[in-house]
Structure 1
Amino acid sequence: MTAVNENWNAAWREQMLPTLADERWDLIVIGGGISGAGIVREAARRGWRCLLLEQRDFAWGTSSRSSKMVHGGLRYIAKGQWRLTRDSVRERQRLLDEAPGLVEPMSFLMPHYRGGFPGPRVLSGLLSIYDALAGRRSHRFHDAQQLRFLTPGLKEHDLVGGTRFVDALTDDARLVMRVLHEARADGAVVLNGLRVTQVLREDGRVCGVEVEDGESGNALQLRCAVLAVATGAWAERLRPSDSPRQLRPLRGSHLLLPGWRLPVAQALTFLHARDRRPVFVFPWEGATVVGTTDLDHREDLDQSASISGEELDYLLAACTQAFPAAELTATDVLSTWAGVRPVVGAAGEHQGKPSNETREHVLWQEPGCVTLAGGKLTTFRPQAIEVLKACADMLGRAFEDDAAPVFAAVQPSPIPGLSPQQWRRLAGRHGRDLPRLAQLIAEVGQETVGATDTLWAELAFACEAEMVLHLDDLLLRRTRLGLLLARGSEEHFAAIRTLCQPRLAWSDERWQAEIQRYRLLWQRDHGLPEVTP
């Protein structure tokens, strides 16, 4: 069976579904976030017959609602997590080298105030270790006068100066899609809207899964030699009922502000006055992100996480603390998002502060099945290698990390009418699909949607070749227009319909139903929290 099809869309999905049960898969991966994408990409590259199943949409969970940072985790050094920091800075550099335009360096500034902690010397010491692990020096101190130019509007009272270092940012949902496209190019079958309802076992060994199609309701039984579970915060759902519960879901919420309302040229990180937790403000996609919280998430995981009123107040207080003259209020917020981190932590009364939990991952194994719990976006590749080594042992296969690139190199091929910066952005986000996108740019034009950097042609491409099943797939994950434009990009709905409805083959009734569904979803998950009287 060949998985690669020029139009990876709902019509292709409908043709593919009846054939899945005919295959005896080497590997089935459950979970379409960055962890599952990494696993299926590395398996497909090695010639395994592999299938990825996602119950909702690719990057629907934490992988589209992260803090967008590809970083080593400076605070992990202070906690003595040397291996995690080392792996993170190495993978950060790998991604910067392999995916320019998608993963980009970003300067971070930590201001120092008289009597505050950490002071310049302490932070410089930590950053020297950070730089040594990364193999390059990237930090320096700036005095208060320099900071006035680097970060206008920053609170000046008692300001001593600030320390600058370099990490990286990404579009997390596009990172997932780029990895999945690479997996498909190497023969993987990748499907969304398929929920695993049961793990099948024979003679004490996992042998497959029972699946329900979220679009039709039809059920399938699929067989595999080994199963990899990479479902993030849902990782315990499919484990045997007598397995100990070890996951501690933690919620991190964020605000997105218009870039003009809080203009910053680089990231700012500082300790919140309320609880001394690190928070940050940084530029992203022409807007400004403020984050993050770190709270136990006690709500139903099957319901999309959203910001609470207390978290909104906390993040606005952080803005006031760092930029008092901006006088930001809730009315300035463009959109919000909340992700649930799959943290492996202590249980019950032994739980400490959420921010003290390790971000290390662990593997849970039973015959025929490997479950990945915990982990970080930055280290998705070594996590995938570790999972596949365990799977290979169960299959009796040899396996080693050959350190091959995750992403195929994109050959320089300028697109008429686009600047080098636009080309870099598109090459990073679309990789080997850039020639197809260039054809659509020639057809649709070079215009961007509103004040964003997103081309209308990118919407067309997503509809034709990126498995869009619902409108939120298109506006919240294939593109980020639903976050970057007011009210979820409502003023552009008519133009989006003209371009996208024919490509999605949706009837007028289907389009109206999708619009209604999207509006409700956006307000619940990405709008401001309801104020209780």
Structure 2
Amino acid sequence: MSLAVKPRPPLEGQHFHVVIIGGGINGVAVARECARAGKRTLLVEQNDFASGVTSRSTRIIHGGLRYLEHGEIGLVRESVRERERLLRERSHLVHPIHFLLLLNEQSQRSAMKVRAGLWLYERFAKRKSAGLSEMELKRVERALDAGHQWSIFNYEDAQCEFPERLVAEWMMEAAAAGAVIRNHCEVVAVDIAQGRARGVLLRDRISGKDERVEGGWILNCSGPWADRVCQRSAVRTSKPLLGGVRGSHIVLPRFSGAPTAAVYAEASDSRPVFVLPWNEQVLVGTTEVSDTGDPAKAAPSSEEIEYLLRTAARLFPKAKISAHDIKYAFAGVRPLPNSPGNAASSVSRRHFLHDHTPEGAARLISVIGGKLTTAASLARECARKIGIPVQEPTTIAMGSGSSLDPMFDHAILDIARAGSVSEETARGMMEWHGPRAMDIARMALVSAELRAPICPHTSHIVAEVVEAYRQEFAVTLGDVLLRRTPVALGACWSESCSREAAARIGAVLGWNEQALGANLESFEMERTAFLKKPSRGIALEAAAD
């Protein structure tokens, strides 16, 4: 069978109330807010949605316990409130996770301060966290370095294993409200005339065509590219808006003694580091290194990989973790506010809206900072800044634990029957697609090709890929396998998986041999540029110390 993908209509000469530059979590949230308010909205992204900082984060939705150390009470309160909303509204993507905060006799933080911070943290959530079992706590203690005396503090936050999927859902909601969505479309420059922003010059990276559109407001939500957008548009700020900080992570297989909870510990330099269960693997991060280079080329240095590996190995010496265990490493540049002379850990994670009117570019706003947790509240603030009256959503308190599990299980059975797929496949579809999983299941019923797994090691099926191309604005194979249905982030993935997936997807989409080869080559280039395999000799001695 062959399922055609719709071509993209031209944009030349169109007028929009709001043009949003940047398709990460913040840009997509802003587009959704503006479109829902009835504004004609254009969202453009030079690469793919969620391909920048969003997909290179630690993937936690947290109130920011350590922000209390810097006195940012308002940010913590806002973050906790937004975390609770995401847990309620996106329960298939955002779920509670236990954190174990570890202190030993060398820790810089006192147990008394930690207890006080956790007490305040729990009060902000207005609910009591469910505790971890004594058996699990003992299991973690046995796995830790026995040469230290450990104090273990248990609290609850949340995890979004695949923020790429959260972006896809918000993007679909923006489109349903009327937003025009365009990825692989670069803003060459913002048009500035007579002291104000008038529109943007676009370059479609797929067709190579340049187009010009008009915009009443231009919102620069390009994250670490914000200064570059200003420079290309001849908007002269008195100093850089950003102080780029690279954060790197390593991914390990599940090791003996790996906790089922997230671990929050101090590295040798007293910086906080997370060791989290993620995607049936273990995610370790993050670092904080100044990086003023091209954010698209951000890559973890050997020193950062060694630092993270040594931290994990010292925490869990019995696991005998080595560099050979690293599945891959990745890095992204956080768009933190420019703060010369301050340590990256002390720079505020609060977002700021920079109005460029003083620089001769009225109606151009640059968004600086922000994080996964607070993207929706940032979007509401942006909307108000440009004159859109947006109300704060009502807050509904959650109890500890979830009452949705029985409903979730019933939905899985219904999806499995509707699509003639296994319960495992139905569960995976429900976890990634939520309420839209039923529509994908019905599509899968059309043919065995659509019900086939994307690769032999996953329960996710080709019908999910077709949905990504038809409804979720996927253009390339990387858009699909790294973000819309991110199976290529899994523990199994290899070049043979890439070939198998491309063949199965190409058969359904009607690719000829040339198109199949081009898609596969492009995907492998993107995958290897994003997910770095460390050199074999790195950090073996350091990890064994």
* Cα offset, 1:161, TM superposition: 3.8
1:278-327 Cα offsets, whole Å, 9 max, x none, are 001111121111111111113323x3311111111011101111100111
**For residues 494 and 336 of structure 1, what CA distance do their matches in structure 2 show?**
22
* Cα offset, 1:427, TM superposition: 3.8
The 8 Å contact of residues 256 and 334 in structure 1, kept in 2 or not, is answered as yes
Q: CA RMSD in A?
A: 2.9
Q: 1:138 to 1:446 in 2, by over 3 A?
A: farther
Q: Does 1:515 align with 2:515?
A: no
Scaled by the length of structure 1, what TM-score is found?
0.88
> Residue in 2 aligned with 1:395?
none
Q: Secondary structure at the match of 1:227?
A: strand
**For residues 235 and 192 of structure 1, what CA distance do their matches in structure 2 show?**
17
Q: 1:23 to 1:432 in 2, by over 3 A?
A: farther
> Residue in 1 aligned with 2:415?
415
**For residues 120 and 146 of structure 1, what CA distance do their matches in structure 2 show?**
21
**For residues 150 and 203 of structure 2, what CA distance do their matches in structure 1 show?**
59
> Residue in 1 aligned with 2:177?
186
Q: Does 1:381 align with 2:392?
A: no
Match of 1:45 among 36, 40, 54: 36
> Residue in 1 aligned with 2:254?
259
Match of 2:76 among 68, 85, 94: 85
Match of 1:369 among 364, 371, 390: 364
> Residue in 2 aligned with 1:345?
338
Match of 1:330 among 307, 323, 329: 323
Match of 2:155 among 165, 174, 190: 165
> Residue in 2 aligned with 1:227?
218
> Residue in 2 aligned with 1:285?
279
> Residue in 1 aligned with 2:305?
312
The 8 Å contact of residues 428 and 460 in structure 2, kept in 1 or not, is answered as no
1:133-178 Cα offsets, whole Å, 9 max, x none, are 11123276988x8633256522233334411111111111111111
> Residue in 2 aligned with 1:438?
441
* Cα offset, 1:112, TM superposition: 3.2
> Residue in 2 aligned with 1:4?
none
* Cα offset, 1:484, TM superposition: 1.3
Q: 1:93 to 1:363 in 2, by over 3 A?
A: same
> Residue in 2 aligned with 1:111?
102
**For residues 59 and 51 of structure 1, what CA distance do their matches in structure 2 show?**
17
**For residues 208 and 394 of structure 2, what CA distance do their matches in structure 1 show?**
40
**For residues 456 and 42 of structure 1, what CA distance do their matches in structure 2 show?**
31
The residue identity in structure 2 corresponding to 1:335 is Y
**For residues 257 and 33 of structure 2, what CA distance do their matches in structure 1 show?**
40
**For residues 86 and 421 of structure 1, what CA distance do their matches in structure 2 show?**
38
Q: 1:308 to 1:261 in 2, by over 3 A?
A: farther
Q: Does 1:403 align with 2:393?
A: yes
Match of 1:249 among 244, 266, 275: 244
1:236-272 Cα offsets, whole Å, 9 max, x none, are 1232442121201111111111225663311111000
Q: 1:450 to 1:316 in 2, by over 3 A?
A: farther
1:398-436 Cα offsets, whole Å, 9 max, x none, are 51324279xxx9997421257888656534532453232
Q: Does 1:300 align with 2:294?
A: yes
Q: 1:495 to 1:262 in 2, by over 3 A?
A: farther
Match of 2:386 among 391, 396, 407: 391
Q: 1:47 to 1:466 in 2, by over 3 A?
A: same
**For residues 259 and 42 of structure 2, what CA distance do their matches in structure 1 show?**
42
* Cα offset, 1:199, TM superposition: 0.8
Q: Secondary structure at the match of 2:463?
A: helix
1:104-158 Cα offsets, whole Å, 9 max, x none, are 1100002233454434332111111111111123276988x86332565222333
Q: Secondary structure at the match of 2:207?
A: coil
Scaled by the length of structure 2, what TM-score is found?
0.86
Q: Secondary structure at the match of 1:235?
A: helix
Q: 1:251 to 1:129 in 2, by over 3 A?
A: same
Q: Secondary structure at the match of 2:521?
A: helix
Q: 1:502 to 1:50 in 2, by over 3 A?
A: farther
The 8 Å contact of residues 98 and 132 in structure 2, kept in 1 or not, is answered as no
Structure 1 stretch displaced more, 32-41 or 114-123: 114-123
Structure 1: gaps (5+ residues): 1-6, 393-397
Q: Secondary structure at the match of 1:207?
A: strand
% identical aligned pairs: 31
1:145-160 matched pairs, under 5 angstroms: 147-150=137-140, 153-160=143-150
* Cα offset, 1:24, TM superposition: 1.8
**For residues 423 and 16 of structure 2, what CA distance do their matches in structure 1 show?**
42
> Residue in 1 aligned with 2:495?
490
Q: Secondary structure at the match of 2:336?
A: strand
**For residues 186 and 167 of structure 1, what CA distance do their matches in structure 2 show?**
31
1:416-463 Cα offsets, whole Å, 9 max, x none, are 257888656534532453232112343433757455564443233323
Q: Secondary structure at the match of 1:247?
A: coil
**For residues 389 and 424 of structure 1, what CA distance do their matches in structure 2 show?**
39
The 8 Å contact of residues 38 and 384 in structure 1, kept in 2 or not, is answered as yes
